[in-house]
A and B are shown apart, each in its own frame.
Chain A
Amino acid sequence: MTLRLIGIFALAAAFAGAAQTQAPSKSPASAKAASPAPAASKGVPRAADGHPDLSGIWTNVTITPLERPRELAGKEFFTPQEAVEYEKTHVRNRDDRDAIKGTNADVTNAYNDFWWDSGTKVVKTRRTSIIVDPPDGRIPALTLHRQSQLRATADARRARCTRPGCGLENNGQPGPADGPEDRPLMERCLSFGNAAPMLPTAYNNNYEIVQTPGFVGIDVEMVHQMRRIPLDGSPHVASNVRLWVGDSRGRWEGDTLVIDTTNFTPDTSFRGSDENLHLIERLTRIDADTILYRFTIDDPTAFTKPWTGEIPFVKASGPLYEYACHEGNLGMTGILAGARADEKKAAENAAKKGAN
């Protein structure tokens, strides 16, 4: 049961969360140890101030999963041949999607794969998971405290859920919506949970980085989130100030840009993280076409230990398109109309039963 609950939340978090945290702090030793900065090669483009030039348009689209599939336990890298086989199978399966018609799973999948842009290749490093630490490539267990917190929230929501398949109908939320505030952050266009850390999702896996000596800005195409990263040594904002993409501060450690992010909103969560999340990201331009991106999730109240992922960002062509997420607002209207239709049907069924 617990596992199932966590599964629901992991799902919801994957699509609806960002992260959060509290006090500005230095990277803990454990997180640092997990994220040794790779060396930038000498030939990489450099900005006028001598630092590697990270500016430009990049993509991190890949089919490599965040967590290593159980079937590949103990296997950190694909051989070139295995990578090709994996890619072929993955893409064929996706294209030949054979979800059974007339199921909620099929409705949720929505439409032909043409509308998605979730990649066809594993990462250039041929890793079998984005997570590199712990070595098993899996997200560490949630703390007991966090598990019970999530369970309590789910129970409260589930009280409103009366139909089979209810959780799936609600994007992993265990209860139906009484209003827009009940819907996931993703549907409300507040956060897709892929800006901090920056991880690929179903489409729009594109980023534009603007770099100056005192500031780095990152435009995350999915849901058009902007990250503002001062490099001036200033401290994080006060701990009572909370932001959807957190409060980021950057610094150069040799040729690596290190971004330290805290102060996420308490309403968002990345894979189960809570308000104490401290996110550390490291960007190293390793060649003309690649930035190696590493991130560490350090959140001692939510996870039993810190964990680290690595994914290459590859040069891409532009432009980035605006993501006017609630343009038209038709989806939310349709969702709420659907919930009212369900309620009406349930009331009619109840009345019929009463009459019998």
Chain B
Amino acid sequence: MRIPLLAIALTAAALATSAPALAHHAFAAEFDANKPVKLRGVVTKMDWINPHSWIHIDVKNPDGSVTNWMIECGSPNTLFRRGFTKDSLPAGAEIVVDGYMAKDGGNRANGRDVTFRDGKKLFLGSSNPDGEK
């Protein structure tokens, strides 16, 4: 009896303290929860801007025209520390972005999940930073 109770407490505690970390700024102020969007496109460039990098992709529209979308992402510092470099996401790579569109209707979205064409997640895995021994 003692062990299950303790396990429940540990689980509850871990859940209670792993609430989503807020982004540096309020994404919900910028992007619309009612406008989820799935974009398939080709990377044209990546801006290594602190603390939110941006991936630019060309997305082909149903009528054949192409729109360049900007996808807001996280901090370059974290990526550098994980060994992610400018070569990790080259121009021309095809990716799929699940995110939310900008409230003002601009061609911007936040990248909730970014995957390669084969379904492999572009960014995956927990942090494994220095000092955690």
Contacts and interface: CB of A to CB of B under 8 A. Distances in A.
Contacts of A237: none
Given A91-B126, A107-B100, A118-B127, A327 B49 contact: yes
Contacts of A335: 25-26, 29-30
Contacts of B1: none
B51 A104 contact: no
A338 B31 contact: yes
A119 B131 CA distance: 10
B29 A339 contact: yes
Interface string B1-32: 00000111111111111101111111111111
A90 B51 CA distance: 25
Nearest to A113: B126
A85 to B, nearest CB: 5
B76 to A, nearest CB: 7
B129 A59 contact: yes
Contacts of A11: 22
- Which of the listed residues A105, A176, A337, A338 has the most CB atoms from chain B within 10 Å of its own CB? A338
B52 to A, nearest CB: 6
A341 interface: yes
Interface residues of A, number: 87
A99 B28 CA distance: 14
Interface stretch (A28-36, A249-257, A317-325): A317-325
Nearest to A11: B22
Contacts, number: 243
Interface in A73-131: 82, 85-87, 89-91, 93-95, 97, 99, 101-121, 124, 128
B131 A315 contact: yes
A111 B114 CA distance: 9
B9 A15 contact: no
B51 A340 contact: no
B25 A187 contact: yes
A337 B14 contact: no
B78 A116 contact: yes
Interface string A192-226: 00000000011111100000000000000100000
Interface of A: 11, 15, 58-59, 61, 63, 65, 69-72, 82, 85-87, 89-91, 93-95, 97, 99, 101-121, 124, 128, 165, 168-172, 176-177, 183, 186-187, 201-206, 221, 289, 314-317, 321-325, 327-328, 330-332, 334-335, 337-342
